[in-house]
């Protein structure tokens, strides 16, 4: 028989972690806004930049491209849409009901100095891709390093 040393504070740490998880799951991120569309949920978004543009990709499954509303006001991008129920099934006939239906809206702050009037959107397999070009002053500039003593092609 092995003896195990009792450490009372390790049990308190476990209780604290359990309470943190409880508050994180129920208060900070309610279950109905964790990326499922409907019930006021938000469309999950990836946003990154290249040398030429800022690219925003949003998952909007089950929505036709013409049913997505995209607006840019100032530096705020808003994507709205609605997922509609495909069929009428009586509530008592369900074994499991996890898919969400209804309107959704997602607003995010964009970096400054973008050419929002030149933005382009495409839609493929439930993924909306929005490409917004950067203004010239924010594109990376290449600076050539010249040897010491050489100015504008002339040697000193």
Q: Residue 43 falls within a domain, yes or no? A: yes
Q: Residue 61 falls within a domain, yes or no? A: yes
Q: Tokens for 130?
A: 């929005």
CATH of the domain at 81: 2.60.40.790
Provide the pLDDT for residue 122. Answer: 94
Provide the pLDDT for residue 34. Answer: 43
Provide the pLDDT for residue 57. Answer: 95
Counting the structural domains of the chain, the total is 1
> Which regions of the chain are under pLDDT 50?
28-40
Q: Residue 2 falls within a domain, yes or no? A: no
Parent domain of 40: 35-85+99-139
Q: Residue 152 falls within a domain, yes or no? A: no
Q: Which of 117, 116, 113 is nearest to 139 (CA)?
A: 113
Q: Residue 132 falls within a domain, yes or no? A: yes
How far is the CA of 57 from the CAs of 11, 25, 29, 47, 64, in angstroms? 43, 26, 22, 6, 16
Q: Residue 26 falls within a domain, yes or no? A: no
Tens-digit pLDDT profile for residues 82-114: 887 777 777 777 777 777 778 888 899 998 888
Provide the pLDDT for residue 19. Answer: 77
Q: Residue 148 falls within a domain, yes or no? A: no
Provide the pLDDT for residue 38. Answer: 41
Q: Is the Cβ–Cβ distance between 60 and 126 less than 8 Å?
A: yes
Q: Residue 3 falls within a domain, yes or no? A: no
Dist CA 43 CA 61 (whole Å): 9
């Amino acid at each position: 028989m092995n003896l195990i040393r009792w450490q009372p504070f390790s049990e308190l740490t476990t209780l604290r972690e359990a309470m943190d998880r409880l508050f994180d799951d129920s208060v900070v991120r309610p279950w109905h806004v964790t990326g499922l569309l409907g019930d006021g949920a938000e469309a999950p978004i990836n946003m990154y930049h290249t040398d030429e543009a800022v690219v925003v990709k949003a998952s909007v499954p089950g929505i036709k491209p013409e049913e997505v509303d995209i607006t840019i006001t100032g530096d705020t991008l808003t994507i709205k849409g609605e997922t509609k129920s495909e069929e009428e099934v009586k509530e008592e006939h369900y074994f499991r009901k996890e898919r969400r239906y209804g309107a959704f809206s997602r607003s995010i702050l964009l970096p400054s100095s973008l050419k929002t009037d030149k933005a382009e959107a495409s839609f493929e397999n439930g993924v909306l891709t929005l490409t917004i070009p950067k203004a010239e002053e924010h594109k990376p500039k290449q600076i050539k390093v010249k040897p010491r003593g050489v100015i504008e092609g002339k040697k000193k």
